[in-house]
Amino acid sequence: MRAIIVGAGIAGLVTARQLGLAGWEVDVVEQSPGPRDAGYMMDFFGPGVAASERIGLYPRLADVAYPVEAAEYVDSAGKATAMLDYERFSRAAGGRVLTLLRPDMELAARDALDDVPAGRVRLHYARRPTGYRDGGGVVSVSLPGTEPSTLEADVLIGADGIHSAVRGSLFGPEADYLRPLGMRAAAYIADEPALAARLGRRFVLTDSLDRTVGLYGLRTGQVATFMVYREQAIAADGIDVDAPTRLRRNFAGLGPEVDRMLELCPPDPYDDVVAQVVMPGWHRERTILVGDACSAVSLVAGQGGSLAIAGGALLGDLLGPVRARDDIPAVLAGFEREWRPVIEAAQASGRRAVWMFLPETVRQQRVRRWVLRAATLPVVNAIVARQIVKSIAS
Ligand SMILES: Cc1cc2nc3c(=O)[nH]c(=O)nc-3n(C[C@H](O)[C@H](O)[C@H](O)COP(=O)(O)OP(=O)(O)OC[C@H]3O[C@@H](n4cnc5c(N)ncnc54)[C@H](O)[C@@H]3O)c2cc1C
């Protein structure tokens, strides 16, 4: 059996590995020239933990995880206003929380392809398909290049993220499915050893309205930064300026450490809308979407990487045993039936967490501080931590 997967992100790579292990021939087509090093720290908890243990990926993820002692909110003078103890956070999430960089998670998934017999999973970087077809019992993808070619397979898997081209081509326009949450997010990593050392094992987040910056020091002496801001509060020149200029205009003044990181912003940081993807159906004939392409929960839900792993593993494991083309549509329907309730629950809790992630009013900001402080009291700790577990940086 043959599969074409579009997108070598976390969901695409995990699906490819599971299919390869089950004996499928898999072509993975990725538009970027190689693995990308953009992205921020992500908390890894929820369904991805059990799934990665089941498929043997968990030890690779644990190897590249970072120790985090606390998430600390600070004012513009650097004074702590609230804190979340990560050990408590971890206990509330069942004791299995890893914190790792998005690119490290992607790399772990790619390295795990080594478990598949050589040649069965082929990665094609720097190829952005120009067309997708699903009909007559076969799927095909047109590839550009000096020698344009067409790949054919039994199933097409769109794992190409929130702006999925597979979805756009075979399911309908992005505007029908993308549900923006009114925010944009940016992330990048820059060399700043002195700041990395000062941050130690803490996430430092600005306690600010309508915008927030998170900083974490990496073992390489670099600092990982994320910046999230409400679209309605974007400075007057809107989004029609290049990302570094826009970030400097919107995040200056939140403290000297943020100002320093703004100076170090690269020309092409990760920079995108914060959105969920909500679709009435994830599959048609022999095409299925997986990961953010059909079911993005957004960074406010804090489980994007975990759900990408769990969803990819489930899809791979359900399709893996299939040996007859005609069985494919029913298996795709079965995947959606099993996985959709998990996604819908995560999306709903993400939407509820928006105010906690990015307060809009002074009252919301105060309530967040109170909630975080209350979380240090043993009695309320477990209940409160369970709530905030879903709303802290991903
Ligand atoms: C560079 C980058 C940085 C990110 N940083 C963060 C972050 O800081 N915090 C956070 O919460 N989430 C971040 N995300 C999103 C996060 O990775 C996903 O929510 C989660 O991992 C789900 O993964 P996914 O595999 O479904 O989608 P994605 O991780 O988005 O992967 C999709 C892949 O498909 C590729 N692709 C897209 N279109 C095409 C096409 N037409 N043809 C071929 N390939 C295509 C993309 O290049 C990408 O490699 C980032 C995503 C990317 C791509």
Tell me how far the alpha carbon of residue 102 lies from the centroid of ligand 1, in angstroms. 9
Tell me if 82 is assigned to some domain: no
Q: How far apart are CA 307 and CA 292, in angstroms?
A: 9
- What is the C-alpha separation between 286 and 155, in angstroms, rounded? 5
Report if residue 383 sits inside a domain. Answer: no
pLDDT at 381: 44
Residue 357 included in any domain: no
Asked if the structure places residue 322 within a domain, the reply is: yes
Q: Is the shortest distance between the CB of 11 and ligand 1 below 6 Å?
A: yes
Domain tally, the chain? 1
CATH number at residue 109: 3.50.50.60
Q: Judge if the beta carbon of residue 30 lies within 6 A of ligand 1.
A: yes
Q: Is residue 284 part of a domain?
A: yes
CA proximity to 338, closest of 47, 93, 106, 58: 47
Record the tokens describing residue 157, joined without a space: 């898997």
Handedness of CA 138, 120, 304, 96 (dihedral sign): positive
For ligand 1, whether the C-beta of 110 sits within 6 Å is no
* Residue 389: predicted pLDDT: 46
Nearest CA to ligand 1 atom 53: 9
Cα gap 268→119, rounded to integer Å = 33
Query: How many Å lie between the centroid of ligand 1 and the Cα of residue 242?
Result: 20
In-domain check, residue 139:
yes
Q: Is residue 268 part of a domain?
A: no
**What is the reported pLDDT for 379?**
44
Residue 291: CB within 6 Å of ligand 1?
yes
- Residue 309's domain comprises 2-36+102-177+277-352
Question: What's the confidence (pLDDT) of residue 40?
Answer: 84
> Mean pLDDT, 10 residues at a time, over the chain (394 residues)?
98 98 98 88 91 96 92 90 81 81 95 97 96 94 85 97 98 97 94 95 92 94 94 68 91 94 95 96 97 95 92 98 96 98 94 86 88 62 47 40
Which alpha helices (H) appear in the chain, and where do they start and end? 10-21, 47-55, 58-64, 86-92, 102-111, 165-170, 174-177, 193-199, 243-251, 256-263, 292-295, 304-319, 328-352, 354-357, 362-374, 378-388
Q: Say if 63 falls within a structural domain.
A: no
Q: Which atom of ligand 1 is nearest to the CA of 129?
A: 42
The pLDDT value recorded for residue 311 is 98
Q: Give the pLDDT confidence score for residue 375 in this predicted structure.
A: 64
Strand partners, 157: 5, 288
